[in-house]
Amino acid sequence: MPTFTHLNEKNEVHMVDVTPKPDVAREATASGRIYLRPETLKAIAEGTVVKGNVLATAQVAGTMAVKQTWAIIPMCHPIPVGAVTVAFDQTAEYIEATCRVKTFGKTGIEMEALTGVSVALLTVWDMVKSAEKDEAGQYPMTRIEGIHVVEKIKAAA
C-alpha cells in the first residue's frame, strides 16, 4: 500500500513539512476540455458572446486561480509562482485549455496547474451558459472532461 504523506503517524491529516527540501526549478502543465454546442463555439470564435471576450476572461481567471490554489486546497503550500500561461485551442466540438506554471521552490506546482485549467474551463462555462441551456434549463451538450497533468518537470537540485 502506498504511503500517504498528508497523514501523520496517528492517521491525522497534516501539511507535509517541506522545509528540509532544497529549492529547485519546477514546472507543471495541465489540460482539459469543455464541450459546447457548435453555435456557442462559433460565437466564441467570432467574439459575439454577449458577456464579452470569453477566452480572455477565462485566461485571467485561470491565472488568478493558480495564485490562490493554496487558499482553496487545504494542504497545499503557498508557492511563489514565477510564471503562468493559460492557452486555448478550439475545434468544432470543444475548447481545450492548457495551463503551464513555473516556480522555484521546495514542492511541486501541479496542483496550481490543475486549478488554473479547471477555473479557466469553468469560466468559459459561466460566460456561455445562457446559450447552452435547452428549453428545460438543462445543459445537454455542455461538459468538462479530461482534466489531467500533462507534464511535471523538476530540475536537478
pLDDT tens across 72-88, in order?
999 899 999 999 999 99
Residue ranges for the chain with pLDDT beneath 70:
1-4, 6-7, 157
Residue 99 marked ligand-binding: no
- Which domains does the chain carry? 29-154 (3.30.70.640)
Are 124 and 41 contacting, i.e. CB atoms less than 8 angstroms apart?
A: no
DSSP bridge pairs for 152: 28
Q: Is 134 a catalytic residue?
A: no
pLDDT at residue number 100: 98
17, 23, 89, 126: which is the annotated catalytic residue? 126
For residue 21, give the 3-state DSSP assignment: coil
Residue 76 marked ligand-binding: yes
For residue 19, give the 3-state DSSP assignment: coil
Residue 6 marked ligand-binding: no
